[in-house]
Amino acid sequence: MATQYQAVGRRKTSVARVYLRPGSGNVVVNKRPLAEYLPTAIRQASATAPLDLTELRGQFDVLVNAKGGGLTGQAEAIQLGIARALVDFNEDLRKPLRDAGYLTRDPRMVERKKPGQPKARKKFQFSKR
């Protein structure tokens, strides 16, 4: 058995490298405690949801390097990274994590802006005359 499990989670333009180590349940993101890095309870719960689902919350220390995007994108990237690392730890956790949707990479990205338009889909007002 390995002493550390690692995985990468992505969401929009955010990337989170997640390291799971046997420990007491500390979650550190970019060298700051989770509560300090993600101040809202909803984002904290979203990021650590796979640990709560598998009831492994107090058994692992989670070390995360997150970059890119905003806080919500990073929180969901952390969620995917934790879920993938847990599957690396124990393959039997794949089914419950998959059923809860934690192993699916959300493919939605920002659509690019097109030339001759103010935004990606918005058009300038059409004038017939």
The alpha-helical segments, DSSP class H, found in 1-129 are 34-37, 41-53, 71-89, 94-100
Strand partners, 27: 62
CATH number of the structural domain 5-100: 3.30.230.10
On whether the CB atoms of residues 127 and 43 are closer than 8 A, the answer is no
Within 10 A of 111 (CB to CB), how many other CB atoms are there? 9
pLDDT digits (tens, 9 = 90+) for 76-127: 999 999 999 999 999 999 999 999 999 999 999 999 999 999 999 999 999 9
Q: What is the mean pLDDT of residues 44-73?
A: 94
Global pTM reads 0.91
Torsion, Cα of 22, 25, 81, 95 (10° steps): 80
pLDDT digits (tens, 9 = 90+) for 16-56: 999 999 999 999 999 999 999 999 999 999 999 999 999 99
Residue 26 neighbours by CB under 8 Å, 6+ apart: 33, 61, 62
